[in-house]
Chain A
Amino acid sequence: MVSMKVNRRRFVAGTAAASAAFVAAPFVRSANAAGKLSVGFWDHWVPGANKATEALVKEWAEKNKVEVSMDFITSQGNKLLLTTAAESQAKSGHDVLAFSTWLPARYSEQLVAMNDVMEPLIKENGKVNDTVEYLGKLNGKWLAVPATVGSQIKGPCSRIDLLKKHAGIDIQAMYPVGQAPKADAWNLDNFVKAAEACQKGGNPFGIGLGTTSDSVDSAGALFHAFGAQLVNAKGDIVVKNDQVRQVLDYYKKLMQFLPADVPSWDDASNNKFLVSGQGSLIMNPPSAWAVAKRDAPQVAEQLWTHGFPMGPKGRYAPFLPFFWGIWNFSKNQSAAKSLITYLSQASSAEKMTNASQGYDLPAFEKLTTFKVWAEESPPKGTLYHYPNPHNHQTLSIAAAPAPHKIAEQIYTQAIMTQMVVRYAKGEAMDKTLDWAAKELEGFTRN
């Protein structure tokens, strides 16, 4: 075996030569010269949807000579949530991570400000809706950039034939392809009448009242439609107000026409209810339609995604954005920002949206008219109104405008749906409000 002894003289000479070469040729780039980047993306439900993201990242990595490692982390079993919590505690992990709805605010102190990324993007792609701003910006600091992948509106998805048959509603005429909605009559009074007619016809509406996201989002939109706040923007508990009483009364009426088991529904229940052919309307992004397309094509060809009914205080739909954020412990923040900027370009967003069959929604105003939504079928144009192209409804999030730390608790502990179920099951209004006030009081602690 040949051994080479490095003495002091040889080491100094070698180091000097290497330094001289480096100083003389600073722009010579080898492969991966711009360092390494580790990215944790949300693992998409739609089969094959990750591929668009993967291709875009590789394209960027090759152009910028950055060695990128990607993980697609599922949100099943809260894996992504746990990964985020673990990385936050360990102050180590991915440079860029996908943050679900409430997480940018939760980890605001550990995230790099993204104003220098967001401001040019807004100039280029148009402004973002108020919900994205509420969730992603704190005290003037953009905490993260709204991601196309995973962002969604949970609007109604209805059966064309069953609404026509039981309630006499032509939902395609109300929400025509390529045109602004003609949905003035689509209000909460007519909504409950339609729910009753469909229930009597044997195909009830399937609106969950459990404690998971779909149920909370639907309730949140209806609470907004009544102007019913539990906690205001200042953090004051205002739950005992007339609007909350009105929405609880409305829900009590509506619940009579929903399946009896809706208080135990999870996020899969409404999808199953629609795909099985039993339901005539659910509140969901087009994942139920995509599953029906595969498993029950005769159901899929009767599905139409459209807007929420109008309430006394407006027409609100739940918007759940995902974000891409950069941890402050990331060692390659400039590369991370460059990657996020690249992924947020209109062309990248369109590729991601196409790969997800229209499920993914960019949050920017000018990016709501991609061809995919008008062209997806069956039936053709079924997703045209999904991205809210005519700003027909206000995109919202349950529990807003309460301060984030309170709102997140209201959302995750499903206070709204619990109030609805308590009251609808016979609890006195004042008792329900007292219960809610006490829970909310607990959320205001620091």
Chain B
Amino acid sequence: MADIAARNPAGHPTQQRSSLHKLMQRKSTIAFLMALPLILLITILVAYPAGYAVYLATLNKGMTRFVGFGNFEFLFGRDTFWLVVYQSCLFAITAVIFKAIIGFVVAHFVHNIPAKGQRKWRGMLLVPWVIPPAMSTLAWLWLFDPSYSALNWVLEGVGLSGIPWTGEAGWARFSVILVNVWIGSPFFMIMYLAALKSVPEQLYEAASIDGATWWQRIWYVTLPMMRNIIAITALFSLIVTFANFDIVRVLTAGGPLNSTHIFGTWAFRVGIEGGDIPLGAAVSLFMVPILAVAATFILRDITKRGSEV
């Protein structure tokens, strides 16, 4: 077996060469070497910055001395911080729920389109997801513009009054969530579509023979078969949505009255714009425990179901 390490009685160069040769032929060595570029990339781009952020978060404002958890304690006493926590949770959870519902419904529609025209629809529906969010959000910004909103122009055209899309806290929250849902739903749609295509047709046939209604087929066949994909997609999206920056930054910059700030944008405001890098790092690190708890529950559920199967 290639995985078994060869004994290496030290000494002879030919023997050394042959043991190196054997080492290089091991599956685990090859796997490690192939994964090495990715490991290096993750170390440089993820592990190091994350470690550095932890280090920064333990420094004082002037970055001259170690303050331990001082920055975190300070944040707990700030009203704006709790507003950001509330807004981040509201933003991420609401957006993920709507993205999941819309993705699920649209995936069903697309799944039922005859195979011939399905590719076109899939392509078109993916457009919001493939456009860089900063670009598409800019287009939304023009639609929501306080003074020249195209949406308000339409509303006023049909006799309704204009809406302060980004000017009033409630509407501003609605607007940033709406744009996130618009951008993210195609990802759910494509994941759910893939899952739908993998549900064996025989299960539906069996359910039909048993007299199952449309709703019963969804509830007892489709959803159980898609559970893992739904959970993984929701987890992935929750992480990405929590860590969102561009939509809020471009659309409202956190306003009005800080009502749309999420962790990323507030960390930027405090750390980079306000010059308090340690506090900014501490704000951004708050995402970690929240997401870790969510990830633990979701992944535990998936593992449990995996072992049941």
B133 within 8 Å of A (CB atoms): no
Q: Mark A190-223, 1 if CB is under 8 A from B, else 0.
A: 0000000000000000000011100000000000
B272 engages A273 (CB within 8 Å): no
Min Cβ gap B303→A in Å is 40
Is there contact, CB below 8 Å, between B74 and A263? no
Contact B272 A81 (CB under 8 A): yes
Beta-carbon contact of B146 and A264 below 8 Å: yes
Chain A positions 422-440 with a Cβ under 8 Å from a chain B Cβ: 422, 435, 438-439
Choose from A81, A85, A260, A412 the contact partner of B167 (Cβ within 8 Å).
A260
Question: What separation, in Å, do the CA atoms of A164 and B78 have in the docked complex?
Answer: 48
- Confirm or deny: B60 has a beta carbon within 8 angstroms of a beta carbon on chain A: yes
Contact A442 B167 (CB under 8 A): no
Taking residues whose C-beta sits less than 8 angstroms from the other chain, chain A's interface range is 35 or more
Give the chain B neighbours of A418 by CB distance below 8 A: 257-258
Q: Which residues of A contact B253 (CB under 8 A)?
A: 210-212, 266
Are B275 and A263 touching (Cβ within 8 A)?
no
Please, which residues of chain B bring their CB within 8 A of the CB of A81?
272-273
Most buried by B among A89, A261, A266, A446: A261
Is there contact, CB below 8 Å, between B62 and A446?
yes
Q: Which residues of B contact A273 (CB under 8 A)?
A: 147
- A260: chain B residues at CB < 8 Å are 164, 167
A442–B61 CA distance with the chains assembled, in angstroms: 11
Q: A211-B255, A261-B167, A264-B256 are in contact. Are A405 and B275 (CB under 8 A)?
A: yes
Among the listed B78, B147, B272, B274, which residue makes an inter-chain contact with A269, where contact means beta carbons less than 8 Å apart? B147
B: interface residue count bin: 20 to 34
Kindly state the separation between the CA atoms of A446 and B80 in the bound complex, as whole angstroms. Answer: 19
Please report the C-alpha to C-alpha distance between residue A332 and residue B13 in the assembled complex, in whole angstroms. 54
- B147 with A421: CB separation less than 8 A: no
CA distance A89 to B276 in the complex (A): 13
Partner of A78, one of B146, B254, B272: B272
Q: Which residues of A contact B276 (CB under 8 A)?
A: 409
Listed A/B pairs (30) with beta-carbon separation below 8 Å: A81-B272, A82-B272, A210-B255, A211-B253, A211-B254, A212-B253, A259-B146, A259-B147, A260-B167, A261-B146, A263-B255, A264-B164, A264-B256, A265-B146, A266-B253, A269-B146, A278-B147, A405-B275, A408-B274, A409-B275, A412-B269, A412-B274, A412-B275, A413-B270, A418-B258, A421-B257, A438-B79, A442-B77, A446-B61, A446-B62
User: A210-B255, A409-B275 known; 4 other A-B pairs, CB under 8 Å?
Assistant: A263-B167, A264-B252, A264-B256, A276-B147
Interface residues, chain A, with chain B CB atoms under 8 Å away: 78, 81-82, 85, 89, 102, 106, 210-212, 259-261, 263-266, 269, 272-273, 276, 278, 405, 408-409, 412-413, 418, 421-422, 435, 438-439, 442, 445-446
